[in-house]
Amino acid sequence: MAQMRYREALNAALREELARDERVVLLGEDIGVFGGAFKVTDGLLDEFGERRVRDTPISENTIVGVGVGAAMTGLRPVVELMTINFSLLAFDQVVNSAAHIRYMFGGQVSVPLVVRMPQGAGHQLGPTHSHCFEALFLHVPGLLVAAPATAADAKGLLKAAIRDDNPVIFIEHESLYGVSEEVPDGDELLVRFGRARTVREGSDVTIVGVSRMARTSERAAATLADEHDVSAEVIDPRTLRPLDLDTILASVAKTNRCVIVEEGWPHGGVGANLAALISEQAFDDLDAPVRRVSGADVPMPYSKPLEDAAYPHERDVVAAALAVLERPGAPAGGD
């Protein structure tokens, strides 16, 4: 085990895969000379050269499309978009090209492309740099969606993403880049897609936390145990597509109650989707309605107290868990 920051874990994954497979190339704005806006690609240009680590113009749609074309003809490109908000400029190539090409051309070709980007609030970057769009990408058949919450998963999932033959949307979290954690050694650390991580075992309530919210949920579970005598099981799906629904349903069968925590917007969100799946497939297991904790239904504001109020915190998750358990101290009815 080595102690490593989330960004260093990503860097290690890229370095190892660049070294392992000549077909891997990196494309992105400021990933080379500058070392990456969040320093994820730091040092890779020096190590692998301009042929493999390419600074691009600020042309998000075209960068992704270039990745698609190169992936169709034998490379395994990893495209970095500076933040997830900028991916909206690339949505045509992400959806109409990356996601659809294999299907619309009758399976003749695959698109082994990874598009990496960070999401998330907390740095007062306002409405065009702070959002969480897991749900937008989850919506699209043809894409895989990974959202690592730990340094170990960041490394293991990114390596698995690069080796996958499907287009992968790889969603990092801006506020996690500096988090330092134990990461297993070895080039071959892979975290297989479609396998949820049980962050903490428990018996009273299942809390599903996505991306950074897996960590917020873990802290909430500790508080629930310490202060409320509640045993919460926390599950991090790690990949939203493919989705390890079995692990979530097995947990719900055990606890009979479920809270889903995400940072994105509530309408049509990851939680809305998951709540529907749970109610369709495990209705008889539920002793209370599934409850969602999500980002506020507003564009992300700049001012600190407003920004804080616009994404979920540990206290919100604790309150939601108490509410599904119908414990005193929980908010009555809705939030």
Partner 1 sequence: MPALPEPAAAREWLASMTLIRRFEERAAEMYARAKIGGFLHLSIGEEATIVGSARALRDEDYLISTYRSHGHALVRGTPPENVMAELFGRVDGCSRGRGGSMHMFDLERRFMGGYGIVGGNLPIAAGIALASDYKQTEEITLCVFGDGASNQGTFGETLNLAALWRLPVVFMVTNNQFGMGTALRRHSAVTDLQRKGESLGVPGTRCDGMDVLDTHRVISESVERVREDRRPLLVEAVTYRFRGHSMADPEQYRSKEEVEHWRERDPIPAFGDLLVREGVLDEAARAQIDADAIARVDAAVEFADASPLPAPQSLYEDVYVLDREVRGSYSLHTTELRAGEAEAAEQDGAGEAPAHEDEIAQQMTDALGIADEAS
When asked if residue 21 is in the footprint of partner 1 (CB under 8 A), the reply is: no
Catalytic residue among 60, 134, 174, 307: 60
Cis, peptide link before residue 299, omega less than 30° from 0: no
Which residue, 158 or 318, is less far from partner 1 as judged by CB? 158
- From first CA to last CA, the distance across the chain in angstroms is 42
When asked if residue 215 is in the footprint of partner 1 (CB under 8 A), the reply is: no
Q: Which stretch binds partner 1 (CB under 8 A): 69-77, 80-88, 209-217, 251-259?
A: 69-77
Distance of closest approach, residue 48 Cβ to partner 1, in angstroms: 13
d(CA 218, CA 199): 7
Site map (CB under 8 A) of partner 1, residues 180-209, x = contact: ------------xxxxx-------------
d(CA 203, CA 328): 19
Which residue, 122 or 242, is less far from partner 1 as judged by CB? 242
d(CA 85, CA 135): 13
Sign of CA dihedral 29, 34, 35, 39: negative
When asked if residue 244 is in the footprint of partner 1 (CB under 8 A), the reply is: yes
Q: Which of 11, 93, 175, 216 binds partner 1 (CB under 8 A)?
A: 93
Structure tokens at 68: 């698609």
Q: Which stretch binds partner 1 (CB under 8 A): 7-15, 121-129, 199-207, 243-251?
A: 243-251
Q: Is 60 a catalytic residue?
A: yes
Structure tokens at 319: 């309150």
d(CA 31, CA 53): 7
Residue 264 gets the label, from left (phi > 0), alpha (psi -120 to 50) or beta, of beta
d(CA 310, CA 302): 10
DSSP H or E run through 144: strand 144-146
Q: Which of 9, 12, 13, 25 binds partner 1 (CB under 8 A)?
A: 25
Catalytic residue among 16, 29, 80, 129: 129
Q: Which of 15, 20, 30, 69 binds partner 1 (CB under 8 A)?
A: 69
Kindly identify the residues of this chain, within the stretch 113-172, that bind partner 1 according to CB under 8 A. 141-142, 144, 164-166
Distance of closest approach, residue 112 Cβ to partner 1, in angstroms: 8
When asked if residue 67 is in the footprint of partner 1 (CB under 8 A), the reply is: yes
Q: Which stretch binds partner 1 (CB under 8 A): 2-10, 115-123, 177-185, 241-249?
A: 241-249
Residue 106 gets the label, from left (phi > 0), alpha (psi -120 to 50) or beta, of left
Contact between 279 and 290 under an 8 Å Cβ cutoff? The reply is: yes
Q: Which of 3, 105, 178, 184 binds partner 1 (CB under 8 A)?
A: 105
Any idea what DSSP says for residue 113? -
Distance of closest approach, residue 165 Cβ to partner 1, in angstroms: 4
Question: Do the strands 232-236 and 197-200 form a parallel or antiparallel pair, or are they unpaired?
Answer: antiparallel
Q: Which of 21, 34, 103, 303 binds partner 1 (CB under 8 A)?
A: 103
The Cβ-side half-sphere exposure at 213, using a 13 Å CA radius, reads 31
Strands (E), 64-137: 76-80, 114-119
Distance of closest approach, residue 254 Cβ to partner 1, in angstroms: 17
Which amino acids are annotated catalytic? 60, 129
Contacting positions for partner 1 (CB under 8 A): 25, 51, 54, 56-57, 59, 61-75, 77, 92-93, 96-97, 101-110, 141-142, 144, 164-166, 192-196, 239, 241-246, 277, 280-281
